[in-house]
Amino acid sequence: AKNYTKGYSDVQAKVRDATSNDPWGPSGTQMNELAQLTYNQQDFVEIMEMLDKRLNDKGKNWMHVFKSLTVLDYLLHAGSENVVLYFKDNIYVVKTLKEFQYIDEDGKDQGAN
């Protein structure tokens, strides 16, 4: 419902679902579907924009970042060559994560897993 009310496309909603704060990882089915969608130029652009947004999340949304990296790793191996080219040109998006840190309420560093 949130995806619909915020005006996200079906493809953007799929990325958001795969990279949600739910305590389980993105499913193989979700990642495979996203990988196939990267072969369509419009879908590819929407996937990259949403991953870029998720990779830049902070604080309590650390799970978005973690799951986005999981999805990105899958897409680099199973998606279109455009994924590799995009992240070669935008490597700074991933490099900035070297500084990522999130300490939860219990004092545990979730970024150091």
Backbone torsions φ then ψ of 109, nearest 5 degrees: -80, 105
Beta-bridged to residue 103, according to DSSP, are 109
The predicted pLDDT at position 76 comes to 96
The predicted pLDDT at position 1 comes to 58
Q: What is the pTM of this model?
A: 0.85
Long-range contacts of 26-30 (CB under 8 A, 24+ apart): 26/67, 26/70, 26/71, 26/74, 30/71
CATH topology of domain 10-19+28-99: 1.25.40
Q: What is the pLDDT along the chain (113 residues), one digit of tens a residue?
A: 567 668 899 999 999 999 999 989 999 999 999 999 999 999 999 999 999 999 988 888 889 999 999 999 999 999 999 999 999 998 888 888 777 777 777 777 765 54
Long-range contacts of 78-87 (CB under 8 A, 24+ apart): 78/31, 78/32, 78/35, 79/34, 79/35, 79/38, 79/39, 80/38, 80/39, 80/44, 82/38, 82/41, 82/44, 83/38, 83/44, 83/48, 86/44, 86/48
Domain ranges (residues) in the chain: 10-19+28-99
